[in-house]
Amino acid sequence: MANQQRPQVVRLWVLNIKLRSNTRKGPSAYEELITELYKLRLSPKVRGGSSIILRTQFKESIDGKAAVYYGKISRFTRLDSTEWFDSLNMEVVNHEIPAGLFPNLKETEYFFIPSAHRFCILDKAGTISLTNAEDYLKKVLPNVIFEDEDFEVNVEQDINSFEEILYASEIKKLVISITYSNNDTNDELTAFVDNELRALRVGKLDATITPDQTGQLSLDDSPFIKGALGVAESDGTVEATIVDQEGVKKKVSTRNYPRKIFVENIGGDDAVNRSVFSKIMSIFRQ
């Protein structure tokens, strides 16, 4: 009996990029964004002082209808000073660094699926953090959109953090910030709120919700709030003050719990792009 190939498990962090435009939409618009980002070779500084750039970019067609863009996203240190310390001679010396050379390179793989407008980075310790990638996208995207367009970048968040809020013994306070999706796959309540926001042309809904004299909120008969929490998983954030099932009062910020997506890949490196594409599409575009 032939040995079966064990699947390679790929761990991804996911960012939801949303283009707000009256003139372009759909996968082609997102393909324009990602290719322009690469062509411009933008490398802004992010939190921590390092710079980020899309070092390489390739495109793989999926069944002749869709595509996945992939490559290396890199972090490096930009040295601007020409004054160096010579520890052998205990002197300050002038040292010119060759143009275009930067130290401390760290990098990981990225995948971008235009059909779901999701930007994914491979979870690899010591390389590019989710915060790095989010900061990078927020700084470079203004350079590739038109004057009458806007964009948003949201971290995909772990559903467990939302369930902790929903199933809390008491909910003392909710702070919800949401925007409508780009037609993601949603359950009934989430779709209801998402459609309401879209119909009203709401740019962003910010709500602070506190209880009446009872001292606690009740979500049992509130489809709108439940739907708003569903929207926030991909298109917003929630901060809550709750009393958990063990009677402990605590604050929960869903932003602190990013969603990690596990992709099983059989077929080695040649198949990973298709595996990532299939997984992302199955979650956000069923």
pLDDT digits (tens, 9 = 90+) for 122-157: 999 899 999 999 999 999 999 999 999 999 999 999
Q: Tell whether the model's pLDDT for residue 45 goes beyond 50.
A: yes
Tell me, yes or no, whether 13 and 76 share the same domain: yes
Q: Tell whether the model's pLDDT for residue 114 goes beyond 70.
A: yes
Q: Tell whether the model's pLDDT for residue 6 goes beyond 80.
A: no
User: How large is the average pLDDT for residues 213-220?
Assistant: 88
Tell me, yes or no, whether 36 and 113 share the same domain: yes
Q: Does some domain include residue 183?
A: yes
Q: Tell whether the model's pLDDT for residue 2 goes beyond 70.
A: no
DSSP per residue over 79-111, as a string?
----EEEETTTTEEEE-PPPTT--S--EEEEEE
**Number of compact structural domains in the chain:** 2
Cβ contact 33:145 at 8 Å: yes
CA 239 to CA 79: how far, in whole Å?
A: 39
Tell me, yes or no, whether 144 and 190 share the same domain: no
User: How large is the average pLDDT for residues 66-83?
Assistant: 88
Of residues 15 and 95, more confidence is placed in: 15
Q: Point out the least confidently predicted range of 2-11, 48-57, 201-210, 239-248.
A: 2-11
pLDDT band at 100 (very low <50, low <70, confident <90, very high): confident
Average pLDDT value over all residues in the chain: 90
Q: Does some domain include residue 86?
A: no
Contacts of 200 (CB under 8 A, 6+ apart): none
Q: Does some domain include residue 184?
A: yes
Q: Does some domain include residue 3?
A: no
**Which range marks the domain in which residue 190 is found?**
159-256
How far CA 184 is from CA of 17, 156, 247, 284, 286, in Å, comes to 12, 12, 36, 6, 9
Tell me, yes or no, whether 229 and 265 share the same domain: no
| DSSP structural state of residue 258 | B
Nearest to 268 by CA among 2, 3, 8: 8
Tell me, yes or no, whether 178 and 104 share the same domain: no
Tell me, yes or no, whether 128 and 263 share the same domain: yes
Percent with pLDDT over 70 in the chain: 95
Strand positions, DSSP E, the chain? 8-20, 51-54, 58-62, 66-76, 83-86, 91-94, 106-113, 118-122, 150-155, 170-178, 205-209, 236-243, 249-253, 260-265
Q: Point out the least confidently predicted range of 99-103, 199-203, 206-210.
A: 99-103
Could you report how far apart the first and last alpha carbons of the chain are, in Å? Answer: 36
Nearest to 27 by CA among 183, 191, 236, 186: 183
Q: Tell whether the model's pLDDT for residue 273 goes beyond 60.
A: yes
Tell me, yes or no, whether 280 and 180 share the same domain: no
Tell me, yes or no, whether 16 and 74 share the same domain: yes
Q: What is the pLDDT of residue 4?
A: 54
Q: Tell whether the model's pLDDT for residue 222 goes beyond 90.
A: no
pLDDT of 223-235, one tens digit each?
889 999 999 999 9
Nearest to 142 by CA among 22, 23, 36, 248: 36
- Count of all residues that appear for the chain in the document: 286
Q: Does some domain include residue 188?
A: yes
Contacts of 137 (CB under 8 A, 6+ apart): 15, 17, 119, 153
Cβ contact 146:133 at 8 Å: no
Q: Does some domain include residue 197?
A: yes
Q: Tell whether the model's pLDDT for residue 187 goes beyond 90.
A: no
Cβ contact 231:181 at 8 Å: yes
Q: Does some domain include residue 1?
A: no
Q: Tell whether the model's pLDDT for residue 188 goes beyond 60.
A: yes
Q: What is the pLDDT of residue 1?
A: 39
Q: Tell whether the model's pLDDT for residue 118 goes beyond 50.
A: yes
pLDDT band at 265 (very low <50, low <70, confident <90, very high): confident
Tell me, yes or no, whether 130 and 262 share the same domain: yes
Tell me, yes or no, whether 144 and 268 share the same domain: yes
How many Cβ atoms are within 10 Å of 195's Cβ, its own excluded? 15
Q: Does some domain include residue 232?
A: yes
Cβ contact 272:262 at 8 Å: no
Tell me, yes or no, whether 56 and 165 share the same domain: no
Tell me, yes or no, whether 184 and 118 share the same domain: no
Q: What is the pLDDT of residue 270?
A: 73
- What is the torsional sign of CA 244, 248, 249, 252? negative
DSSP per residue over 142-185, as a string?
GGSS-TT-EEEEEE-B-HHHHHHHHT-SEEEEEEEEE---SS--
